[in-house]
Amino acid sequence: MATIEDVARLAGLSRTTVSRVINNHPYVSEEKRQTVRSAMEQLGYVPNSIAQRLRTQTNETVAVLIPRLSNPFFSHLVDAMEDIAALYRFQLIICQTKSGKEREILYLDWLKTRQIGGVIFASSENDWQDIKRYQQYGPILFCNEYPPGTEAPIIHLDQLQGGYMGTQHLIERGHTKIGYCYSGRQNTNIRDRFKGLKLALKDHGLSIKEDWIFKDAYDTKDGGRIYYEIMALKDRPTAVFTGSDEVALGIIAEARRNGTHVPKELAVLGFDDQPIAGLMDPGISTVYQPVKDIGKMAMELMIQLIRGGHPVQQITELPLHLIVRAST
Amino acid sequence: MATIEDVARLAGLSRTTVSRVINNHPYVSEEKRQTVRSAMEQLGYVPNSIAQRLRTQTNETVAVLIPRLSNPFFSHLVDAMEDIAALYRFQLIICQTKSGKEREILYLDWLKTRQIGGVIFASSENDWQDIKRYQQYGPILFCNEYPPGTEAPIIHLDQLQGGYMGTQHLIERGHTKIGYCYSGRQNTNIRDRFKGLKLALKDHGLSIKEDWIFKDAYDTKDGGRIYYEIMALKDRPTAVFTGSDEVALGIIAEARRNGTHVPKELAVLGFDDQPIAGLMDPGISTVYQPVKDIGKMAMELMIQLIRGGHPVQQITELPLHLIVRAST
DNA sequence: TTGTATGCGTTATCAT
DNA sequence: ATGATAACGCATACAA
């Protein structure tokens, strides 16, 4: 591998001049610039970026922490982030935490060892106090989810508004008895969404019964189970806010098998607008989350921070959109 | 940030001794080892990995080239790869090529600039001759797809066997007129799959008509279009090998809308076993690809290569599996 | 406009 | 068992 020294020797100039050409410095005569260029060409020289990083104390790589990539929400999020990273020639390191506290810290340590220049949390299990101390080693920001009390930039989706909007839609369709499903996990997003639902109910003089709240709702299988739980109730909801397209799908599929008409006998609202939502028959009404948008914004901000911008405790909130199909 | 020098000073020892402790070298007395340990602790010292990389000329980061992450096949592939990388404390850099030749080369240049230690191609648009020259900068291997003439380790799925197996299944179900869909792109995988189909037909004394081959089949929308193309034929196939669950889904959905019974009037075989395949009604019979397995194998091999193993021109081929549901 | 000297934080070589 | 010193490849303060 040719080094800057080799280029300098071949060009009959100093390393400094070569370095100046590499970094497009002014005060290099056009003549010498050409000499250096051709020497680099001739030797197939490219600067060693590891040496550059050591010297300049910069690191243009960003780690993104997500639970797992096989979750479409996160793969789409990272997709958008990588687009921006590539645009700025930044590297994107993927870190699957499997929702594990220790895994998160493991990756945060990479910030300490200078293996990465910054960290974007797309989900987080640790308390802010345990993450905070890593800020001294590089920028940290949150995209999508964040622990309570976070003192770092946050870009997220307005789950409260999403919960409100979805519920209002069901109310406008004439429903007064509305059920709700949520995964067992209790993060800020899920809590906010539920707050939105309750707020919308309250604003219309309605409320939710304890019986109409279904938990452990993760996938299609859970949806099937929940269908039966709903049907077993004496006083049952006429609409369900599922919080997940998979769960909605499960309920709808089971309803069809049992001859329960959707949406006449049971309206079902999904969440996320995953591809299946539009493909099902009936199509699933759902709440679309502009994932790509927050992904891009988060990466843009991170790059500015790594390049020397200073973090402000800003919270960016993007609204969700309602997509009405046949299931409501 | 504390450096090795700071630790040495505090411990009243030399940098060399501290370095020895860091790297678990023998010939360090237990006493001094403790002294160093507590000094490191006290200063919150961690070695600067950039400096380590420069000094040792090693780089434990792997770049994975894929078309795009939002394609579930690839997100599951990378998921598996990251599991292995994390196990060995390697970093995984995600590179979306958007199926662009230039993008691939752009990322390959990272190998040259020492930003990464090795490259795994999960798809590739460039010819082997254009990739070959980068081998001198670090290990390169192919997982899933590879250009003709590749002289590097290859781990892939036996598409020919998959094509054969799927076709044979349809034949066993009594079909003699079998249609075939493929995306416009012509890569080795798609070609091999088609070879498998023709081979199976030939082995049973059958053949395919030009009319029964449908191209530009990427997604559900295309499936819908293809349904009508099939129905418009005077002599039409009674079964279709779609090469994609999305396309299969599109055909099935359109068939249902038009009252065409699946599988009685038209049997449909998918490919990939994406989640939707099992959730649809009727469930889609499909060809499952052990994506996780090749992902893990590829990353294991890459890590061995980066750690100094020498690449052998080995080809690892994994078989596909048939999943029979209701659509055939 | 160009060059000299120094240091980024490590590890490896060679003494002792 | 421990330490002094050089080297990895580069960029920059300073000098000329």
What pLDDT, in 10s, does the model give residues A272-291?
998 788 877 789 999 999 99
Q: What is the mean pLDDT of residues A52-77?
A: 96
In the chain, the amino acid numbered B87 is L
Gap from B79 CA to chain A (nearest CA, Å):
5
User: Is A22's CB less than 7 Å from nucleic acid strand D?
Assistant: yes
Gap from B246 CA to chain A (nearest CA, Å):
10
A175 contacts A203 by C-beta, under 8 angstroms: no
Q: CA B210, B212, B216: angle at the middle one, nearest 5?
A: 95
B253, A47: Cβ pair inside 8 Å?
A: no
Query: pLDDT confidence of B278, banded at 50, 70, 90?
Result: confident
Query: For position A228, what pLDDT does the model report?
Result: 97
Q: What is the dihedral of CA A6, A12, A13, A18, to 10 degrees?
A: -40
Tokens standing for residue A187: 């993060």
Chain A residues in contact with B48 by the CB 8 A cut-off are 54, 113-114
Q: What is the mean pLDDT of residues A299-319?
A: 92
Q: Which CATH number fits domain B59-157+291-319: 3.40.50.300, 1.10.10.10, 3.40.50.720, 3.40.50.2300?
A: 3.40.50.2300
Query: For position B143, what pLDDT does the model report?
Result: 98
Residues A220-229 pLDDT 10s: 889 999 999 9
Residues A167-214 pLDDT 10s: 999 999 999 999 999 987 778 899 999 999 999 999 999 999 999 999
Q: What is the mean pLDDT of residues B202-212?
A: 97
B185 pLDDT higher than 80: no
Handedness of CA B246, B252, B256, B257 (dihedral sign): positive
CA A1 to chain centre: 40
* Average pLDDT score, chain A: 95
Residues A113-147 pLDDT 10s: 999 999 999 999 999 999 999 999 999 999 999 99
A4 pLDDT higher than 90: yes
Percent of chain B at pLDDT above 90?
A: 89
Percent of chain A at pLDDT above 70?
A: 100
- The H-assigned helical ranges of chain B are 4-11, 15-22, 30-43, 49-56, 72-87, 101-112, 128-132, 159-172, 188-203, 220-231, 245-257, 275-279, 291-306
B92, A92: Cβ pair inside 8 Å?
A: no
B42 contacts B10 by C-beta, under 8 angstroms: yes
A87 to chain B, any CB pair closer than 8 A? The answer is no
Query: pLDDT confidence of A257, banded at 50, 70, 90?
Result: confident
State how far the Cα of A141 lies from the Cα of A119, in Å rounded to an integer: 7
Q: What is the mean pLDDT of residues B146-171?
A: 97
Q: Domain residues of chain A, as ranges?
A: 4-45, 59-157+291-319, 159-288
Å from A87 (CA) to D4 (C1')?
47
Q: For residue B248, what is the nearest residue in chain A, using CA coordinates?
A: A279
State how far the Cα of A68 lies from the Cα of A96, in Å rounded to an integer: 5
Gap from B135 CA to chain A (nearest CA, Å):
13
Q: What is the mean pLDDT of residues B99-114?
A: 96
Domain A159-288 CATH superfamily:
Response regulator (3.40.50.2300)
In the chain, the amino acid numbered B279 is L
Query: For position A312, what pLDDT does the model report?
Result: 80
Tell me, letter by letter, the H, E, C secondary structure of A202-237.
Answer: HHCCCCCCHHHEECCCCCHHHHHHHHHHHHCCCCCC
Gap from A297 CA to chain B (nearest CA, Å):
18
User: Is B30's CB less than 7 Å from nucleic acid strand D?
Assistant: no
Q: For residue A53, what is the nearest residue in chain B, using CA coordinates?
A: B50
Let me know if the fold of A59-157+291-319 is the same as that of A159-288. yes
Chain A, 99 to 138: residues with Cβ < 8 Å from chain B are 103, 109-110, 112-116, 137
User: Is A56's CB less than 7 Å from nucleic acid strand D?
Assistant: yes
Nearest alpha-carbon partner for A242 in A264, A279, A274: A274
Question: Which nt sits closest to A16, CA to C1'?
Answer: C3
Query: pLDDT confidence of A310, banded at 50, 70, 90?
Result: confident
Query: For position A135, what pLDDT does the model report?
Result: 96
Å from B24 (CA) to C11 (C1')?
13
State how far the Cα of B242 lies from the Cα of B276, in Å rounded to an integer: 15
Query: pLDDT confidence of A74, banded at 50, 70, 90?
Result: very high
Residues B114-132 pLDDT 10s: 999 999 999 999 999 999 9
Q: DSSP string covering B246-285, please? A: HHHHHHHHHHHHTT--TTTT-EEE-SB--HHHHHSSSPPB
Q: What is the mean pLDDT of residues B20-33?
A: 94
Chain D bases closer than 7 angstroms to a protein Cβ: 1-13
Query: pLDDT confidence of A248, banded at 50, 70, 90?
Result: very high
Query: pLDDT confidence of B144, banded at 50, 70, 90?
Result: very high
Query: For position A33, what pLDDT does the model report?
Result: 96
Picking from B69, B249, B279, the nearest residue to A75 by CB comes out as B69
Q: Is A4-45 in CATH node 1.10.260.40?
A: yes
